[in-house]
A = this chain, B = another copy of it.
Amino acid sequence: MTLVVQKFGGTSVGDSDRIRTVADHVARTVRRGDSVVVVVSAMGKATDDLIRLAHEVSAVQPPRELDMLLTAGERISMSLLCMALAELGVEAESFTGSQAGIVTDAEHTRAKILEIKPHRLLECLSRGAVPVVAGFQGVSTDSNVTTLGRGGSDTTAVALAAALGAAACEIYTDVSGVFTADPRVVATAHKIPSISFEEMLELSASGGRVLALRSVEFARNYGVPLHVRSSFTWEPGTWVVEEDPEMEQAVVSAISHDASEVKLTLTRVPDHPGVAARIFRAVADRGVNVDMIVQNTSLDGFTDISFTAPKVDLPLAREVTEAVAREVGAGTVSVDTEIGRVSLVGAGMKTHPGVTATMFETLAKLDVNIEMISTSAIRISCVIRADQLEAAVQALHEAFGL
Contact = CB atoms under 8 A, between A and B. Distances in A.
A64 B72 CA distance: 16
A99 interface: yes
8 contacts: A58-B86, A61-B83, A62-B86, A64-B93, A65-B79, A65-B83, A68-B79, A96-B145
A223 to B, nearest CB: 32
The secondary-structure label for the interface of chain A is helix
Nearest to A76: B72
A226 B87 CA distance: 43
Contacts of A87: 58-60
Contact of A69 (B50, B79, B145): B79
Contacts of A68: 75, 78-79, 82, 94, 96
Contacts of A81: 57
Number of copies: 2
A16 B57 contact: yes
A175 B53 CA distance: 26
B83 A54 contact: yes
Contact of A75 (B60, B69, B80): B69
Contact of A62 (B65, B83, B145): B83
A71 B75 CA distance: 8
A84 interface: yes
Contacts of A83: 54, 57-58, 60-62, 65-66, 69
